[in-house]
Amino acid sequence: MARPEKVARVDEVRAMFEETRSVVLSDFTGLDVAKISELRGLCRKNNVEFKVVKNTLAKLGVKDTDADGLSGYFEGPTAIAISREAENVPAKVLADFAKEHEAPKFKAGFVDGNVIDATAVLQLAMLPSKEELLAKLMGCIQGPGNGLVGCLQGPLRNLVSVLNQLKEQKES
């Protein structure tokens, strides 16, 4: 018979995968306690949960869910990074940390109901954030309007310049 705390942990893992926007599985081998604490702090600052769960409990937690394809990745030391806000934030935080410390290594991910491999997680980490994409979109939308305003102001600016030159000539 299963112990209540293990059943609760399995239910927690199941809920985690059902409520999130993205999950990244990583191998944290090579990180000491201080570096893991630093990584947890960085994750917390970016609203990402970083958890280490027993593989057997995680496999039970993803069983019969959309994330069932991840059960093969729960081998060896596995950490789970979760975001309930944005799809690429966990991958971006872990990738930025890995640049300095050469760990953690991506195993797989779960984004919008789809299981993705380590290569796709790395590509996800390279995508700009939602705010950056919105800023670029606004720049594209405003660009033609700004160009039109500049074109319409050009003749007036030239007229004022010619009038100023005539004024200066008559004064001298």
Same domain for 119 and 145, yes or no, is no
Model confidence at 1: pLDDT above 70 = no
Please check whether residues 84 and 150 belong to one and the same domain. no
Q: What is the average per-residue pLDDT within 13-28? A: 81
C-alpha–C-alpha distance, residues 15 and 128, integer Å: 28
Pick the closest to residue 62 from 111, 2, 117, 13 (CA basis): 13
pTM value is: 0.69
58 and 24 in one domain?
yes
pLDDT of 60 reads: 83
52 in the same domain as 71 = yes
Domain that residue 151 falls in: 129-172
| Residue 118 sits in the same domain as residue 140 | no
* Domain shared by 15 and 90, yes or no: yes
Tell me the torsion sign for CA atoms 71, 74, 35, 31: negative
Give me the number of domains the chain comprises. 2
Q: What is the arithmetic mean of pLDDT over 129-151?
A: 81
Q: In terms of domains, do 87 and 137 share one?
A: no
**Coil vs helix vs strand at 42:** helix
Residues 55 and 94 in one domain: yes
Same domain as 50, residue 39: yes
Beta bridge partners of 116: 109
Question: What's the whole-number average pLDDT of the chain?
Answer: 82
Regarding whether 71 and 141 lie in a shared domain, the answer is: no
Identify any residues that bridge with 59 across adjacent strands, giving them in sequence order.
Answer: none
pLDDT at site 141: 86
For 155, left (φ over 0), alpha (ψ -120 to 50), or beta? alpha
One domain for residues 25 and 47:
yes
- Residue 68 sits in a domain of what CATH number? 3.30.70.1730
Same domain, 24 and 12: yes
